[in-house]
A = this chain, B = another copy of it.
């Protein structure tokens, strides 16, 4: 696609459900994850994963039920998560597939707060952002799947002040009243620079950026000495046909001896278990809140993706398939 994705960029194709071979399992997918990163996977060129080719099944995370298994580690009836694609059934050799404990949370949560987006927030904030107790933390996309977890983990880990940035009064109310952020800036209606000054009197130690664009530029003007800008995403720029806009104020990194750092959650795979257990515990204790928004049916995929890019969802957006 060039610029914003369109419905016509996708084809819906029917095929017979395949039979698992030796060492394979067949998963009936129940929920498909919708992620801003999907837009990047549709672009040609070098990135951290190969682009999705023309005619291939669109890449996506999912969660579902094992319906047939010739794999020693998975049994019929197990619930599993993995990169299953935008489809109703997936064959897998078990690589990158994990069982999920449905007693801990409903299935969609394993695509969000207890899945890749939650882990992204956790490692981005604590490892890349090196958040310390007392820090002022700003999170953009604060009502989104990653942002809502990043801000809550910051509070749990002792941040001095956690300020969200989100679009519209309803999202801001969700961020403050339900998630417990100290404040939220409505980028559609507020004077962002003025509010950053008001809500961050000691400037910003960690900025967890999910959006890029003008908001990134404004937060750069408010960095504290030694600040860490965590580059998690740039959803405002992914569909820009004229190309990405770079942060014009990047030299504030020099003035403030600050850094801007990118990361990919996959690099922390060896610590997923520990982090998921810690976050699962917070979820059980009620310290960590989660929200998922569910769209229905495989043919709703293109519209759901557009909804994500228009910022119309609150929390993690997933697609229920197979009538679940």
Question: Interface residues, chain A, CB within 8 Å of chain B?
Answer: 46-48, 212, 217, 231-234, 237, 243-264, 267
Contacts and interface: CB of A to CB of B under 8 A. Distances in A.
Contacts of A251: 212, 231, 234, 237, 244, 262
Contact of A261 (B249, B252, B258): B258
Among all A-B residue pairs, the 3 with the closest Cβ atoms:
A246-B246, A254-B262, A253-B262
Nearest to A47: B255
B246 A231 contact: no
A130 B286 CA distance: 42
| Copies of this chain per assembly | 2
25 contacts: A47-B255, A217-B246, A231-B253, A231-B254, A234-B251, A243-B248, A244-B248, A244-B249, A244-B251, A245-B248, A246-B248, A246-B249, A247-B250, A251-B262, A253-B260, A253-B261, A254-B262, A254-B263, A256-B262, A257-B262, A257-B263, A257-B264, A259-B259, A259-B262, A260-B261
Nearest to A254: B262
A246 B221 CA distance: 14
A251 B250 CA distance: 13
Nearest to A37: B254
A38 to B, nearest CB: 15
A247 B262 CA distance: 14
Q: Which of A46, A47, A245, A251 has the most CB of B within 10 A?
A: A251
A246 B232 CA distance: 18
A126 to B, nearest CB: 16
A51 to B, nearest CB: 12
A173 B208 CA distance: 44
Nearest to A229: B260
Contacts of A267: 257
A4 to B, nearest CB: 18
A194 to B, nearest CB: 16
Contact of A255 (B48, B250, B255): B48
Contacts of A47: 255
Nearest to A258: B262
Nearest to A217: B246
Given A231-B250, A254-B263, 7 more contacts: A212-B251, A246-B247, A251-B262, A252-B262, A253-B262, A257-B264, A259-B259
